[in-house]
Amino acid sequence: EFSLDGKLVRSLQIPDLFLPDDKGNKGVRNNLAFESLTLTPDQKYLFTATENALVQDGAVPSLQSGTPCRILRYDAVSGNLGRSFLYITEPLPPGANPVGKFTTNGLVDLLAIDENRLLSLERAFSLETGNTIKLFEISLEKGDRIEGLESLKTRLSEVSPAQKRLLLDFDTLKIPLDNIEGLTLGPVLGDGSRGLILVSDNNFSPLQETQILGFKIKVQKTP
């Protein structure tokens, strides 16, 4: 956390199981670590998540299965880590050829609606399919707590993950899509709905564009 004048206020503690060791047997994978960050509207909780599985938790996504990510929920006031949850991404998109080529799918952003409901953004890429972007609504209410588990690899069948509901497969928009990785709420609109803004990461590449997409959504309060 930084002050408005750029001074470091505090750092959040990262559990040791996320830190890579020198043998490559544990921790986050290179460039697949904490990609998302979001505060609940009441500013009580802060969420982040790994883009892909920790080494000791499982594999990167394949054509048959997704990758098991970890969602972390911090107390935003104290800075203490509270709960952690399992989130499983979608598999690689059909038509992707991961053999000897760069392919990926990952959890690239979260947007908190409240302490148990979030929007999640997944971005997949392969040379054959290009960018595949999907937006989900997720619930943590029935998800098992996993902060005490050092490894998930042999226990995935025992753990209840966050529940997912597909809101939008961006392929249905029939527009060119870049590397969409950012997600945030916009202003309250005249009809009471909210703006939803998504943005791409252009990787400093002259071959990519900075793409901004705007939508209108209705946010229902939890009963």
Residue 208 inside a domain? The answer is no
Residue 101 inside a domain? The answer is yes
Residue 201 inside a domain? The answer is no
Q: What does the radius of gyration of the chain's CA atoms come to, in whole angstroms?
A: 18
CA distance 81 to 101: 37
Task: Tell me which residue range forms the domain holding 89.
Answer: 16-174
* Predicted pLDDT at 222: 67
Residue 105 inside a domain? The answer is yes
Compute the C-alpha angle 114/118/122, nearest 5°: 165
Residue 168 inside a domain? The answer is yes
Q: pTM for this structure?
A: 0.95
Read off the pLDDT band of 220 (50, 70, 90).
confident
Residue 187 inside a domain? The answer is no
Residue 47 inside a domain? The answer is yes
pLDDT in tens, 196-215: 999 999 999 999 999 999 99
* Predicted pLDDT at 219: 87
pLDDT in tens, 150-198: 999 999 999 999 999 999 999 999 999 999 999 999 999 999 999 999 9
pLDDT in tens, 90-148: 999 999 998 989 999 999 999 999 999 999 999 999 999 999 999 999 999 999 999 99
How many structural domains are present in the chain? Answer: 1
